Structure 1
Amino acid sequence: MLSAAPVLNPLLARYATWLSLSGESTRDTSDEEPDEVVLMPLVLRIERTEPPRRTDLLEAAAAASLAVCLDERCAVGGEWHEAMHRWISGRIRKVARRARGAHWRAVQDLPGHTFSVHGAQVRALLPARVADMPKELTRLQISGSELDTDDPGQAPAGLPVLWLNPDVGMSAGKTAAQVGHATMILAAQLHGDGDDEGLERWSAADYRCAVRTPEPAVWNALHTGDSASAWREHRVAAVRDAGFTEIDPGTITVLAQWQEPVS
């Protein structure tokens, strides 16, 4: 078993509750001090002259997010455990920032993981309080991460698929956060089912996955509205957004469908 997998247990415990909440109830942040909010930063490499393909960047973000969570340093007793446990036990938020050139190189020294898909690169960082974010990160812009939509073709067989809601428009940065949530929920479901062998094989495949936007009919067939039966019958988990940015609270943004990775 991946030694850090139990760190996802609080996420699994809250998953069904999240899906049953009314939209507005997930948006109440009246008890928060802005500097105390804990975030996982995602740094998207978007060079001015050669920007990446949007789908490749999203697939890199999805893999990088999970790789940080399941890093062995997040296991009990590891140097990352306290930070990861605090984040997963609270409101799970990510924020995407863009970087290029020297600024991209500077964030490689911060604790986290960089993943590349067909040259598109994302570095997911260890979650931290807003007040503790280093200058290498805070100087990066959140806006300006938009990329043109591309047509990646049919999803390859033997990869988990992250289906984006075809009726919801999101920036590349927002979508990167959502697919990062999706891989975390998939991993938590697998661990909760006792399928740690499947999780190990996914780890060996570098958490590869496919990000696709389905036809509405496909989305509707997978989005049954019953989280328990969706997972049991279709191996599908849903990401339900809290509505902090861009979209309405309660929106299902991603349906994550587990398929055993082919090595």
Structure 2
Amino acid sequence: MSDSVLEAPDPFASTQPWAMQLAIRDERASRPTHLAVCEAAAQAVVKLLTDPRSAPDGEWYPLVHHWASGPIRKVVRRGRGIRFTQVQELAGVEVEHAGAQVRAFVPGPVDQVPAALTKMQVGGTEMPEEGKSSEPVAGGLTIALTALTPMTTGKAAAQSGHAAQLALMSMEDEARLRWEESGWAVRVVAPEEAGWAEAVQRARVAVHDGGFTEVAPGTQTAVAWW
């Protein structure tokens, strides 16, 4: 008698919410800064969404399209050493930027997260230093994080990813082409209250949080312009 083979669960049969998982590399000796993580996370999200494998004829398309058609939930995790090395084998894209290393994974239901990812912590994602924003790049995107509500680095990174995704979906073709030509450059700023009010006024897209973690539902967490 041949051994039975366990089939992988069908993600589309799940009744649980879907999310894009993101992983931050967080080594003790060289922790990235808060803003570098946010910028890298936003870039990773965009690079996954614009990857040829996410296009209508690509292998990732059914999963990416299903997730993007609903709430664009993201879960940010952190890991070091072997924990981060193990997730390299999972489908996704990775960005290294200003000392930060963030990998975005193909979305799926939250009850079918790969084992290598479940071993990475969701908590403790607060980086000890805020760091500096990247310099503006022609054709790039600027994201401002709210000054009114405190957010951990993981939460802020997720909101930065949301803002970048909304910008990608909202841009006209010419603006999107210029952004692509910039290498999907992202600048994340953390203004004081007065600067936040100005950012809201000039924003082209805004993120209002679903309230799953840290902040109240409907909180405006990030805005972006180009």
Q: Is the 8 A contact 1:53 1:147 kept in 2?
A: yes
Give the aligned partner of residue 160 of structure 1: 141
Q: Is the 8 A contact 2:34 2:131 kept in 1?
A: no
Give how far 1:36 is off: 1.9
Change (3 A) 1:100 1:237: same
Q: Is the 8 A contact 1:163 1:254 kept in 2?
A: yes
CA distance in 2, matches of 1:154, 1:78: 32
TM-score (norm 2): 0.88
Give the aligned partner of residue 230 of structure 1: none
Give the aligned partner of residue 212 of structure 1: 189
Q: Is the 8 A contact 2:36 2:133 kept in 1?
A: no
Give how far 1:189 is off: 0.7
Within the alignment, does 1:183 sit opposite 2:164 as a pair? yes
Give the aligned partner of residue 58 of structure 1: 38
Give the aligned partner of residue 241 of structure 1: 209
Q: Is the 8 A contact 1:47 1:101 kept in 2?
A: yes
Change (3 A) 1:155 1:240: farther
Specify which of 93, 101, 113 is matched with residue 81 of structure 2: 101
User: Quick one: which amino acid aligns to residue 170 of structure 2?
Assistant: Q
CA distance in 1, matches of 2:137, 2:145: 18
Q: Is the 8 A contact 1:243 1:250 kept in 2?
A: yes
Q: Which stretches in structure 2 are left out of the alignment for 5+ residues?
A: 1-12
Give the aligned partner of residue 5 of structure 1: none
Give the aligned partner of residue 170 of structure 1: 151
The secondary structure found in structure 2 opposite 1:106 is: helix
What do residues 33-88 of structure 1 show as CA deviations (whole Å, max 9, x unaligned)? 99622110000011012111111111000100111111111221221111011101
What do residues 151-182 of structure 1 show as CA deviations (whole Å, max 9, x unaligned)? 41685253321111111100111111000000
User: How many equivalent residue pairs?
Assistant: 213
Q: Is the 8 A contact 1:35 1:130 kept in 2?
A: no
Within the alignment, does 1:257 sit opposite 2:218 as a pair? no
CA distance in 2, matches of 1:111, 1:141: 19
What do residues 198-256 of structure 1 show as CA deviations (whole Å, max 9, x unaligned)? 213322333111111113222213324xxxxxxxxx45211110111100111100111
The secondary structure found in structure 2 opposite 1:176 is: helix
Give the aligned partner of residue 138 of structure 1: 118
Give the aligned partner of residue 18 of structure 2: 38
TM-score (norm 1): 0.76
Change (3 A) 1:157 1:205: closer
User: Quick one: which amino acid aligns to residue 99 of structure 1?
Assistant: G
Give how far 1:119 is off: 2.2
Give how far 1:118 is off: 1.6
